Amino acid sequence: MKIRILPSLLAADLGRLGEEIARAAASGADGLHLDIMDGHFVPNLSFAPATAALCAKLLPEGIELNTHLMMTNPHKYAGRFVEAGSDTVQFHLEVRDTVNVRALVAELEAHKARVGLAINPETPVEVAFPYLDCADEVLCMTVHPGYGGQAFIAEVLPKIRAIRERAPALDIMVDGGVNGETAVLAAEAGANAFVAGSYLFAQPDMAAAVAEMRASCEAAFARAWGK
Ligand code: DX5
Ligand code: ZN
């Protein structure tokens, strides 16, 4: 299973946004994670399609732009984030009563975007089971979405394990409170993609931290799940 490491731009120095995007791109990371908050699904606001376009312009070919829509109405904006250059668009299954999940997945696929389906820490894992066949990745939030710098919620680990047992080849991503230690716990539970904001952007040598996280997650995943 390929291990993916993605710094989250939310923790970057916003006064030097271009340089920070370039620092993440040069770190050996697989992609850049971009958090979009609507002030409604979460009580905070963050970036916009223009930021996605800036990231897409500055990221070299082969470095994924992974856009996480924490929005009540992802269907109204998903297309704009694809047009802005997102390779993957993730939206939350908590909106499934008001948003047609399969229709939005189909729309994203028609635009050649990868699709991620996200669940919050308190959302039962069973909510994701019916959709495992139609997503490229499942994002298990390991903090309550809305803010960077929170502590990893270890109660999410059994949910990761339950998804991995049902979907051996699916990309399973964790986001929130991920650092050198918690990433290993998540990899043992079955995660293979790791978003880290405050931890990676605080590193004077981001490349070394990415390499170390990759090596320890590869070893932990292989120990627990085989290759
Ligand atoms: C939280 C966001 C995360 C955030 C993670 O709502 O979805 O992507 O950037 O930040 P850290 O790694 O600092 O917990
Ligand atoms: Zn995120």
pLDDT tens digit string along 87-104?
Answer: 999 999 999 999 999 999
Task: Look at the chain and report how many structural domains it folds into.
Answer: 1
- How confident is the model over 155-184, as pLDDT tens digits? 999 999 999 999 999 999 999 999 999 999
User: Which structural domain range is residue 37 located in?
Assistant: 4-225
Of all protein residues, the one whose alpha carbon is nearest to atom 10 of ligand 1 is: 148
Specify the CATH number for the domain of residue 65: 3.20.20.70
pTM, 2 dp = 0.98
80 CA to centre of ligand 1 in angstroms? 22
pLDDT (0 to 100) of residue 220:
98
Q: How far, in Å, CA of 6 to CA of 140, rounded?
A: 14
Exposure letters 135-168 (e unless 16+ CB within 10 A, then b): bbbbbbbbbebbbbeeebbeebbebbbbbbeebe
CA of 78: how far to CAs of 11, 54, 110, 121, in Å? 23, 17, 12, 23
pLDDT (0 to 100) of residue 98:
98
Ligand 1 pocket by Cβ (under 6 Å): 8, 10-11, 33, 35, 68, 143, 145-150, 175-178, 195-199
53 CA to centre of ligand 1 in angstroms? 20
Helices (H) and strands (E) in the chain, counts: 8, 8
Out of 51, 122, 140, 143, mutate this one to test ligand 1's pocket (max ligand atoms within 8 Å of CB): namely 143
pLDDT (0 to 100) of residue 227:
74
